[in-house]
């Protein structure tokens, strides 16, 4: 995998937005896999600025959801469908019809998961999947010890993840659902390009385990080591525990300009 160390979150956002913009210029109807949480926001802001300036056209772009809470109505402000409408679709000018995601309110949750996996395949697969990482190494909501070949399915959140996400629910952990639907690790690995973005010192241990630890279900993000085109973009704080940081800096500094991430 390629590791790019950027000075700060804003620079990380711009780098990833540039990669998305290049993809959309090459393939205007690209399927972008998007993530929720605080980390990806600078990406969406930087891409929205490019849309506003006319540097990129998102009129044919398609967007796929990574995960969703089980049981929150779709119009709940913290359902990930609502969050993505606010943070991605509206700022980027992408029509709701170009959005796909699992149904977190389905009575038959597993049938909804299977249907979503099929829908992703029928759409031609995700071209670029943006990922955050949990402090416990989760990607999507694949918590530690998730199968590395898992498909989209229901998962139970760890107490830590519910505490981490309580800030989106008025700081009240009791309001954070226990269950979620998440693309499986096997599903995520089918995207053509994986871009994991991590910022802040709180992610340093998880990033080190992802990049330099063994491939192990205990750190779900380490599955990226098995992907032929995975890029890990980290700010200095999140890179602080990487033993090979100097090598990663050296490699990126000497990359041919045409190559991109």
Please answer whether residues 116 and 101 qualify as being in contact, where contact means their C-beta atoms are separated by less than 8 angstroms.
Answer: yes
Stretch that binds ligand PGA, among 72-80, 98-106, 130-138, 178-186 (CB under 6 A): 130-138
Residues 12, 104, 132, 137: which binds ligand PGA (CB under 6 A)? 132
Q: Which of the following is catalytic: 68, 87, 136, 235?
A: 136
Residue 38 binds to ligand PGA (criterion: CB under 6 A): yes
The CA distance from 126 to 128, in Å, is 6
Q: Could you say which of 117, 138, 164, 193 is catalytic?
A: 138
Angle between helix axes 9-26 and 41-53 (nearest 10 degrees) is 50
Cβ proximity to ligand PGA, 58 vs 210, nearer residue: 210
Considering only 133, 176, 195, 239, the residue that binds ligand PGA (CB under 6 A) is 133
- 142 forms part of the interface with ligand PGA (CB under 6 A): no
**Judged by CB, which is closer to ligand PGA: 33, or 56?**
33
- For strand 230-235 and strand 2-6, is the pairing parallel, antiparallel, or unpaired? parallel
Q: Of 12, 37, 177, 184, which lies in the binding site for ligand PGA, with binding defined by CB under 6 A?
A: 37
DSSP state of 42: H
Beta strand segments in 102-241, E: 128-131, 153-156, 179-182, 193-198, 230-235
Given the rule CB under 6 A, which of 113-121, 128-136, 152-160, 231-239 is the region that contacts ligand PGA? 128-136
Binding residues with ligand PGA: total (CB under 6 A) = 6
- Is there binding between residue 222 and ligand PGA (CB under 6 A)? no
For the chain, the maximum distance between any two Cα atoms, rounded to a whole number of angstroms, is 53
Q: Which residues, in sequence order, are CB contacts of 20 under 8 Å at separation 6+?
A: 32, 43, 47, 56, 128, 130
Binding site for ligand PGA (CB under 6 A): 37-39, 132-134
Catalytically active residues are 67, 136, 138, 143
């Amino acid at each position: 995998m390629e590791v790019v160390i950027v000075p700060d979150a804003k620079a990380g956002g711009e780098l990833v937005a540039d990669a998305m913009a290049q993809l959309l210029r090459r393939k205007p109807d690209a399927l972008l896999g998007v993530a929720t949480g605080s980390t990806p926001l600078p990406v969406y802001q930087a891409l929205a600025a490019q849309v506003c300036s006319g540097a990129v056209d998102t009129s044919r772009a398609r967007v796929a959801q990574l995960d969703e809470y089980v049981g929150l109505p779709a119009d709940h402000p913290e359902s990930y469908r609502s969050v993505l409408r606010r943070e991605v679709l509206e700022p980027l000018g992408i029509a709701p019809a170009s959005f796909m995601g699992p149904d977190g309110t389905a009575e038959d949750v597993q049938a909804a998961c299977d249907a979503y996996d099929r829908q992703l395949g029928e759409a031609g697969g995700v071209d670029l999947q943006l990922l955050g990482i949990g402090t416990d190494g989760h990607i999507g909501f694949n918590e530690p010890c998730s199968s590395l070949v898992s498909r989209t399915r229901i998962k139970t959140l760890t107490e830590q993840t519910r505490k981490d996400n309580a800030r989106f629910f008025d700081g009240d952990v009791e309001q954070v659902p226990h269950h979620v639907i998440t693309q499986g690790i096997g599903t995520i690995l089918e995207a053509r390009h994986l871009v994991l973005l991590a910022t802040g010192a709180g992610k340093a241990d998880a990033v080190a385990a992802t990049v330099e630890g063994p491939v192990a279900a205990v750190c779900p993000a380490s599955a990226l080591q098995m992907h032929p085109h995975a890029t890990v973009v980290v700010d200095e704080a999140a890179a602080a525990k990487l033993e090979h940081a100097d090598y990663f800096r050296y490699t990126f500094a000497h990359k041919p300009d045409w190559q991109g991430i």
